[in-house]
Structures are given as C-alpha cells and as structure tokens.
Structure 1
Amino acid sequence: MESNQSGIKRVLAFAAHPDDIDFGAAGTVAAFTAAGVEVTYCIMTAGDAGGFEPGDRENVSALRSSEQQAAAELAGVRDIHFLGERDGFLAVTPDVVEKTVALIRRLRPDVVLSMHPERNWDRIQASHPDHLACGEIVTRAVYPAAENPFAFPRLAEQGLEAYRVPWLWFYGAPRERENHAVDISGTVDTKLSAIRVHASQHPDIAKMEAAVCSMLQDNARRFGLPEGASAEVFHAVGVNTDQTIAGF
C-alpha cells in the first residue's frame, strides 16, 4: 500500500482511552517525530473506568491523563487534547463529531490516525465499544464533515475553514483490512517504554510485553519484513489523493 509516507509533515492521532495509541501506534509515532513530523494526540474519553483498584476512583482520570502525557513525551509528542467523554459511553454525537472536525481543520494533518470502526471478531478485546465509536466519529469527521464548507457553519465563522484530509490510517483493524505496515524495529523499545508508563492498566507487565513483542514480530512476518523485525500495521485509506475522485 503506497501512502506517500515520506511526504508526511503533520499527523493527528485519535484514541478512545489513554494508552490506546501507545498499544496501536507508538512505534510509528516515534518514527514520525524522530523524522521531524509534528504529531498531536486527541484522547476522547477520560479513562475513568480503567484500572483494577476499586478505591480512589475519583483520581483515576487524572492519573491516566498524566500517564498519557508521560508516554506521549517518550514518543516525542507534547501536544495532547483530552475531550473528557465518559469512559465506556463514548457515542457518535454531533457534538463530539464537531469537536473532532474542529481539531482536524485547525491542525490540517497529512495523516489522521484512528482506531478502527469495524469489530474484530478474531480478537474482540480490540473492539471495545469506545474504540468502535472513536473510529466512526473520526471517519465521519474526516469525510465528509471536515471538507464540507457547509457542515458545522459556526466553525467556519471561527476561521476553521474546510480541509481535505489526504490519508486516514486505522490501527486495531480486523486483519483482513490491514494493508500497510510500518517497520518499527528502531523504535520498538520506545513503544514498550510508552506502554509501561500506563502501569495502572497492567496487572502483569512482563506478560503484556511478551504478548506485544510477539504480535509486532508476527506483523512483520506477515508483511514480508526481515526476520526479527517488528511492525505496526494499519488499514490505510486514501481520502483525498491523486488516486481518489471527489464525490464518488
């Protein structure tokens, strides 16, 4: 899948919860930032239903936000937006779509990264309802809302003019949708370090790391990368490229 990766200058990455991006795309993000690409994160929920401890629930959101900020810095990202929606109840509403469109129009990214809107029946844990909602919200925001000058007219009144997103990359896609692999062998340690930061979510860090490493190596094998390589995989969708036709 040719996605003009060398021409990417700005990336906007969406996730449902703190830690989703780190599991799905932190190696790719770290490679982007190391190459000088500007990357921004947007976390849609407050992460308030995460963790395993029954006590001190009031501080869970603040803890998870701080974990995400620290993990993002490891990957070279310092610009993070938190929408603060309720964890477990993320819904495709006009309000959340509008907030997503506003961010896309403000940043005008070359690539939008998002969770996938389709359920993965091979590993249903990848298809938390919030993940699916995140994917659908972002998809609707990318097309047609962000590029429709008549959608959300008050955004245009605020100076946020319509913008055509070139590429939409989904992570956490069903395997049959995956069509683009990024070799992250040089940034896999950064990815693992970023995941470790989310300690509140991992009762067994060693087991988690082993599973992640195995998955990354399997990704690389499936896409024909050298033995021992690690890869993150995406469903890359050309939205406005030389190969797409507006209106069809």
Structure 2
Amino acid sequence: MTTPSGTAAVFQRALVVTAHPDDVDFGSAGTVASWVAAGAEVTYCICTSGDAGGFDDTPREDVPRLRQDEQRAAAAAVGVTDVRFLGYQDGQVVADLGLRRDIAKVIREVRPHRVITHSPEINWAHLPVSHPDHRAVGEAALAAVYPDARNAFAFPELLDAGLEPWTVGQLWLSECPEERVNHAVDITDHFDAKLAALSAHRSQTAHLPDLPGTIGRHLTRTAERHGMPGRLAEAFHVVDTA
C-alpha cells in the first residue's frame, strides 16, 4: 500500500462533507476522533437532514429534527462541536452548481487543510455504500475543493461576501473501490468513540442486533488487508490537492 505525501503532516483544521446524518460515523468517525485527540479542529457539513431515513413509525415530519439531533450527539462523542446542515432533500441530491457553491462556501469559511467526503465512484464490491446521494456529494465536494473554493472567479458572490479563496491540501475519499485505497488509519484506540457516535443514531442503528460486532469485524478485516493484523482500521483514497 502506498502512502501519499503529507498524510502524516501536521494540520490544524479538517472538514467532513457527507450526504446524510450517520455517514461520517459509519465511514470515518474513528479517524475524526484520532484527529481531534491530536488537536485538530473538525467541522461536519451534512448536505441533507436524512428525512428519507429511519426504520420505525416516527412521524415523517419529525425525522429531520430527530436525525439532526442524533448527528450533533454523535459528533460530540468524537469531540466535534461544529455541525452544519445544508438542507438538501434526502434521496434527491445531485451534483449541481448550487451544491458546489454551498460546499465551496463552507470550505472558505472553515479553511480546512483536509476534506473527507464520499468517493464519487461506484464501489461494485459493496454497493450499499454507493448510494446516489453519496456519489453526488462526493462529486460536488471534489469540484468544490478543485477548482471552486480556490478560484477567486468561481461564485463571485462568495468573494463579495468576504469569503476569500482557500486551497485544500488533501482530499480523503471514503467508501472508494478497494483498488483505490492508498491509506489506512489505525483507529483501535478510538473504537469506543466510534461506537458511541454510531449508537447516537438510534433511528438508524437501534434495530441492528450486534452493532459492535458488525463494525468491529469490518474494521478488523480492513486493518488486515492493509498490513495491521490485530488492529482496527478505516481506509481511504487520499489525494494531494494543493
């Protein structure tokens, strides 16, 4: 497994851009917890409120508020306090100019050194992670990182609002096809925080019979594939974008 330059470099701020509440916690919460523990500031940008999710008889009009509250609680479990929701319709996200602009706006506000988002590619080996909303958000976030957020002439209304261009140094793509993975993070010491974050999403995880076992086995397999037997790991396609 190769490692891109800069993955171990000191950084101060990171932004996680996902489609739904709980996406970051399934894919990256252990990594986020490790970054926060090392002193980084992390912001979450959730593009929808998860209004099409859920597995019980909660009134549909109550679902967005419930899932936003769950995501804030999950973020707190890994030390994240800045959680932003863009309000797009769950299940109907497209990588249009509006979404690109909204993500670029958050990038210019937060000024992150790293951005975690969904891979825009289909993972044919594990199709459920390639939800259309995930791929649309990944595509829009990629465009927001390059070229939109760094280009002073893209979305001039952002510059008019005082948001100066910002160049993100690295893009970390989760849920990518296995052949794209080039970096794995040992999250063994942050497994409990990841589980606490996932458990906060009760509307999405309370029905699962063995959440710790299922997640633990997945992370164990990931670690084994990437040369860390006996450990737990999350994997990414890391791209240097500076």
Scaled by the length of structure 1, the TM-score of the pair is: 0.93
Query: 1:87 is matched with which residue: 90, 101, 110?
Result: 90
Measure, in 1, the Cα distance between the counterparts of 2:83 and 2:9: 24
Of 202-211 and 156-165, deviating more is 202-211
Q: Any stretches of 5+ residues in structure 1 without a counterpart?
A: 241-248
Q: Which position in structure 2 is the counterpart of 1:71?
A: 74
Residue 125 in structure 1 maps to residue 124 in structure 2: no
Could you tell me how far 1:94 is from its partner in structure 2?
A: 1.3
Could you tell me how far 1:131 is from its partner in structure 2?
A: 0.4
Query: 2:221 is matched with which residue: 218, 223, 228?
Result: 218
Once the two structures are superposed, what CA deviation does each residue of 1:113-167 show, in whole Å capped at 9, x if it has no partner?
1011001111110011000011001001011111111100111111111111110
Q: Which position in structure 1 is the counterpart of 2:196?
A: 193
Q: Which position in structure 1 is the counterpart of 2:233?
A: 231
- Which one-letter code corresponds to 2:36 in the other structure? T
Measure, in 2, the Cα distance between the counterparts of 1:5 and 1:90: 33
- Describe the SS at the equivalent of 2:234: strand
Q: Any stretches of 5+ residues in structure 2 without a counterpart?
A: none
Could you tell me how far 1:206 is from its partner in structure 2?
A: 3.4
Measure, in 2, the Cα distance between the counterparts of 1:64 and 1:5: 33
Do 2:113 and 2:168's aligned partners in 1 also have CA atoms closer than 8 Å?
A: yes
Residue 180 in structure 1 maps to residue 183 in structure 2: yes
Once the two structures are superposed, what CA deviation does each residue of 1:163-192 show, in whole Å capped at 9, x if it has no partner?
111100011111111110010010011101
Do 2:199 and 2:206's aligned partners in 1 also have CA atoms closer than 8 Å?
A: no
Could you tell me how far 1:202 is from its partner in structure 2?
A: 2.3
Q: What is the 5 A alignment of 1:1-248?
A: 1-2=3-4, 3-202=6-205, 204-225=207-228, 227-240=229-242
- Which one-letter code corresponds to 1:9 in the other structure? Q
Measure, in 1, the Cα distance between the counterparts of 2:209 and 2:185: 24
Do 2:198 and 2:205's aligned partners in 1 also have CA atoms closer than 8 Å?
A: no
Measure, in 1, the Cα distance between the counterparts of 2:58 and 2:215: 29
Aligned length: 239
Seq. identity, %: 46
- Which one-letter code corresponds to 1:11 in the other structure? A
Measure, in 2, the Cα distance between the counterparts of 1:34 and 1:204: 30
**Aligned-residue RMSD, C-alpha:** 1.1
Measure, in 2, the Cα distance between the counterparts of 1:153 and 1:198: 38
Scaled by the length of structure 2, the TM-score of the pair is: 0.96
Could you tell me how far 1:205 is from its partner in structure 2?
A: 3.0
- Describe the SS at the equivalent of 2:29: helix
Once the two structures are superposed, what CA deviation does each residue of 1:22-65 show, in whole Å capped at 9, x if it has no partner?
00000010111111100000000110000012451110011100
